[in-house]
Structure 1
Amino acid sequence: MEQTLAVDTDEVSERIVTGVAALEGTDPMELPPLFEAIDPDALTAIFATTESGGSRSGNVAFTYADHRVTVEFDEDDEPVVTIE
């Protein structure tokens, strides 16, 4: 099963945890801390608004709680989280 979420940059880490919890059918507090898979502050910084206001591009992929998580920018310059 796969879940895709469009999110605000301030909520990327929270959406990852709640998305994985939804796929697992469990409480987010039952999952391992996200920082064991990736630094949440660094993840937020990567997808923060640029100082020049320019468009971002690219993606970050990692494994969290046995799920492949990809965060990338969509055509509207918003981060999209895909959890497989």
Structure 2
Amino acid sequence: MTEISRLEGVEPFELPPLEDCVDTESLDSLFGRPDAPFHEGEVKFRYAGYDVTVKYTGEFDIA
């Protein structure tokens, strides 16, 4: 996650793998395709000390 690497002042490869925190294939299945089963909603998870919210629109928030 480049935004978190920017906040932390490190290169993205220095962060833990995102797949250790969330199943990225499932995120793609839920929200990543035009025929995805969910047209609304969000998924929240914790990554590298941050709360991440991924919205069905593809937007995300980091807190």
**Which of the five TM-score ranges fits, normalised by the shorter chain?**
0.7 to 0.9
**Structure 2 residue aligned with 1:82:** 61
Which structure would you say has the larger RCO, counting Cα contacts within 8 Å and 6 or more residues apart? 1
Alignment RMSD: 2.0
Q: Unpaired segments of 5 or more residues in structure 2? A: none
Q: Percent identity among equivalent residues?
A: 35
**Structure 1 residue aligned with 2:5:** 21
Structure 1 length normalisation: TM-score? 0.65
Query: Which consecutive segments of 4 or more residues in structure 1 shift more than 3 A?
Result: none
- Are 2:46 and 1:63 aligned? yes
Q: Unpaired segments of 5 or more residues in structure 1? A: 1-16
Tell me the number of residue pairs that the alignment of Structure 1 and Structure 2 aligns: 63
Tell me by how many angstroms 1:50 deviates.
Answer: 3.9
